[in-house]
Amino acid sequence: MPSSIHLSIVDYSILFLYVAFVIGIGFALKRYMKTSADFFMSGRSIPAWVTGLAFLSANLGALELVGMAASGAKYGIATAHFYWVGAIPAMIFLAVFMMPFYYGSKARSVPEYLKLRFDERIRCFNSLSFAVMTVFASGISMNALAKLLHQLLGWNYDASLWICSIIVLAYVLKGGLTSAIYTEVLQFFMIVLGFAPVVYLGLKDVGGWKSLTQTLSEVATHPAKLELTTKTFAPDAWTSAWTPLLGGASHNPMGVDIFAMVFGLGFVLSFGYWCTNFLVVQRAMAAKNMTAARRTPLIAAVPKMFFPILVILPGMIAAGLAYKGQDGYRLPPSRVTSAAYEEAIPAVQRAAAQQLDDATATQNVSKALRMKVSPEKIGAIVKDVRSKTISEEDLKTKLQAAVSETDYDGVILSLVQKYCPSGLLGLALTALLASFMSGMAGNVTAFNTVWTYDLYQAYLAPNKSDAHYMGMGRIITVIGILLSIACAYFASHYNNAMDIIQLVFGFVNAPLFATFVLGMFWKRTTAHGAFFGLLGGTASSALFHATTLAAGNAPGIKGGYLAVLWVLPSEMAQNFWLASFAFAVCFTLTLCITLVTKRTKSDSELQGLVYSLTPKLKDEESAWFTRPAFLGILLLICCVVLNFLFW
């Protein structure tokens, strides 16, 4: 494989130290795991700063890390909207308004809250979809990890997958949720301390922030030079967060309008994720008391606000470096897989034998590789093959070099490779590995809790002893890991099927927040209303997807397979509008059905579950400046200031 990394003994010792410590933490925690509550909920005993950092880390999976850098290169500073618009407000809302119900109701999971508030049907729907989703999420992430280790370090795919999974299994099995939370905190520091020097070196290399913004303004006016897009934009498109957005969808590289951004991402998707996804909420629920639980998202919000420096800035630096062509740096090309080589090499040989002209040869090779290639380079390769002066290894290297398509997900790693000498390299790679593994641990711990409490205890084996559920928790942890491995193999073989599955989960998640917001803040909301409203919302998002299409896409998996009623400027816009539409449908349906159905739960049953029926929390005992509401407002102000700074 071209451009593989060679690790030295220093790199390996850092890697092994990390692995030894996570497993060690698992074993050290073993003696605290006495009841199922210890195993699934950490016995509600963890201090706020620990749950806060875990809350942040659980969301910051490796795929997010890689994807945000990719977006940083593709869209510039506007990517920060995923943090400043799409996360901070929702995290504050969760802390101030929703955490009292989750923590105070003594529900052990988000689906269980739904059961207490509504009925079994909606719990069943939510827990089933969540359980399947977490398994797929961890499978997808483990597949990405094993693929990365294979491509980068030349490790065996199967061995990487199994070994990493077994490490995760070892520490989750021993320490349960506490293990997962602790390793997430470890991962947080690994990511920050592992990537900070890379960002620093990159920024220094590109000539500092001023020089970077200058280069990026040239990128904005000539994005075709980096093969980013064929359109051109105003000079500030990569360096301003709001001005390009206010100009409309055609004035920013994301192709998103302001409504889709603020309502679709900032309200529906963001609140839907941060306030209802058990994966993150579980961290806050493990806090030692109500105050700590409410502080969890607030503590997480502080680093979250500044994370763009660590995850988005590298992408922007890469775009700047590539535009300048500094030291021959280019954005990493898409990787040619061994299967693609097997098709492409005969195509080159045929082109050489049949004396095809460069254009036809390029077309054939491009088709075999399923990637865009540079005609000049293909012409040169064909010439080499005709004169028989090239070995098969060389041919592969040259084919890879001829690929003119960018693999944006490789951006962050290309910077790590560019700047890290052996030693620092081990640290950065360990950080990446850590975030993949803790992503799996996070998903598996959320999965085993939901399975044991919301599916197994609720429907399959109620009224068993605590030790029984604890045993079940351990068994399902093993099964969860095995299922994740199966999903990883599935993902590596059926990429398209995986896209469809993720799409379906998008449909389920989009309307969910409407159900929660009505349930929590309107005591009248009935179980019928919530259940059928959610089903209707899910169906409507599928319908929306089936009848809309992003510009440039062919009808099919990307949407529009029933009819194309609306063409949106980009996939991102399609996604944001889909969420807005599904939310509106779910909200309206729930409202209407509620009005025509009878209430099933009395006021007293809903105490602690609905805003108006819950006694106001008394946090007078703590100083006013430590109260969640005050901290929330402070954070919100900081967030607004950041937005203005990069307006």
Partner 1 sequence: MNLDIRLPIGAMFSLIGAILAISGFLTNSNTEMYRPSLGINVNLWWGLVLFLFGAVMLAFALRAKRIAAKDLANTPKPSHTSVR
- Judged by the rule CB under 8 A, the positions of this chain that interact with partner 1 are 10, 13-14, 17-18, 21, 24-25, 28-29, 32, 42-43, 45-46, 50, 178, 182, 185-186, 189, 193, 197, 201, 204-205, 418-424, 427
Q: Residue 647 Cβ, how far from partner 1 at the closest point, in Å?
A: 32
Which one, 9 or 645, has the nearer CB to partner 1?
A: 9
Whether the CB-CB separation of 343 and 368 falls below 8 Å is answered with yes
Shortest distance, CB of residue 6 to partner 1, whole angstroms? 13
Provide the token pair at 21: 């410590």
Tell me how far apart the alpha carbons of residues 402 and 415 are, in angstroms, rounded to a whole number: 21
| Cβ at position 330, least distance to partner 1 in Å | 16
- Could you tell me the smallest distance in angstroms from the CB atom of residue 260 to partner 1? 40
CB of 549 to partner 1, least distance (A): 44
The residue among 571, 482, 558 whose CA lies nearest residue 142 is 482
**What is the DSSP secondary-structure string of 417-479?**
HHHPPTTHHHHHHHHHHHHHHHHHHHHHHHHHHIIIIIIIIIIIS-S--HHHHHHHHHHHHHH
Q: In this structure, are residues 571 and 565 in contact, taking their beta carbons and an 8 Å threshold?
A: no
Q: Which is nearer to partner 1, 13 or 495 (CB)?
A: 13
Residue among 32 and 522 whose Cβ is closer to partner 1: 32
Q: In the numeric block, which tokens belong to residue 278?
A: 């058990």
Closer by beta carbon to partner 1, 233 or else 329: 329
Do the beta carbons of residue 591 and residue 522 sit within 8 Å? no
Angle at 241 between CA 239 and CA 247, to 5 degrees: 100
- Measured from the CB atom, is 247 or 423 closer to partner 1? 423
- Whose Cβ is closer to partner 1: residue 86's or residue 442's? 442
At how many degrees (to 10) do helices 424-449 and 278-285 cross? 90
Nearer to partner 1 among residue 8 and residue 626 (C-beta): 8
Closest alpha carbon to 181 in 282, 85, 305: 282
Contact assessment for residue 438 and residue 24, using Cβ atoms and an 8 Å cutoff: no
Within its chain, how far is the Cα of 22 from the centroid?
22
User: Which is nearer to partner 1, 44 or 117 (by Cβ)?
Assistant: 44
Bridge pairing between strands 548-550 and 566-568: parallel
For residue 287, the minimal CB distance to partner 1 (Å) is: 12
Q: Is 203 helix (H, G, I), strand (E, B) or coil?
A: helix
Nearest approach in angstroms of CB 150 to partner 1 is 24
Identify which of residues 318 and 402 has a Cβ nearer to partner 1 in the complex.
318
Which are the contacts of 226, defined by CB distance < 8 A and separation ≥ 6?
Answer: 219, 319, 322, 323, 331, 406
Residue whose CB is less far from partner 1, 43 or 308:
43
In the three-class reduction of DSSP (H, G, I as helix; E, B as strand; rest coil), residue 404 is classed as: coil
- Considering beta carbons, is residue 44 or 150 the nearer one to partner 1? 44
Tell me how far, at minimum, the Cβ of 376 lies from partner 1, in Å: 29
Q: Report residue 224 CA to chain centroid gap.
A: 28
Compare residues 211 and 337 and give the one whose CB is closer to partner 1.
211
> 259: which residues sit within 8 A by CB, 6+ positions away?
580
Residue 161 CA to residue 321 CA, distance in Å, equals 34
71 exposure class (CB count in 10 Å sphere: 0-12, 13-18, 19+): buried
C-alpha to C-alpha distance for 182 and 193, rounded to whole angstroms: 17
Nearer to partner 1, 336 or 420 (CB): 420
The nearer residue to partner 1, 45 or 404, going by C-beta atoms, is 45
Task: Give the C-alpha distances (Å, rounded to integers) separating 571 from 513, 545, 614, 642.
Answer: 22, 11, 42, 27
Q: Cβ 466 to partner 1, closest distance in Å?
A: 19
Q: How far is the CB of 58 from partner 1 (least distance, A)?
A: 15
Least Cβ distance, residue 360 to partner 1 (angstroms): 41
Query: Do the Cβ atoms of 208 and 313 come closer than 8 Å?
Result: no
CA 279 centroid distance within chain: 12
Tally the residues of the chain: 647
Label residues 94-111 b or e (16+ Cβ within 10 Å = b): bbbbbbbbbbbbebbbbb
Assigned token pair, 166: 């077994």
List beta partners, residue 549. Answer: 567
CB of 301: closest distance to partner 1 in angstroms?
20
At closest approach, how far in Å is the CB of 419 from partner 1? 5
Residue closer to partner 1 (CB basis): 131 or 286: 286
Q: How far is the CB of 403 from partner 1 (least distance, A)?
A: 24
Shortest CB 43 distance to partner 1, Å: 8
* Cβ partners under 8 Å of residue 556, min gap 6: none
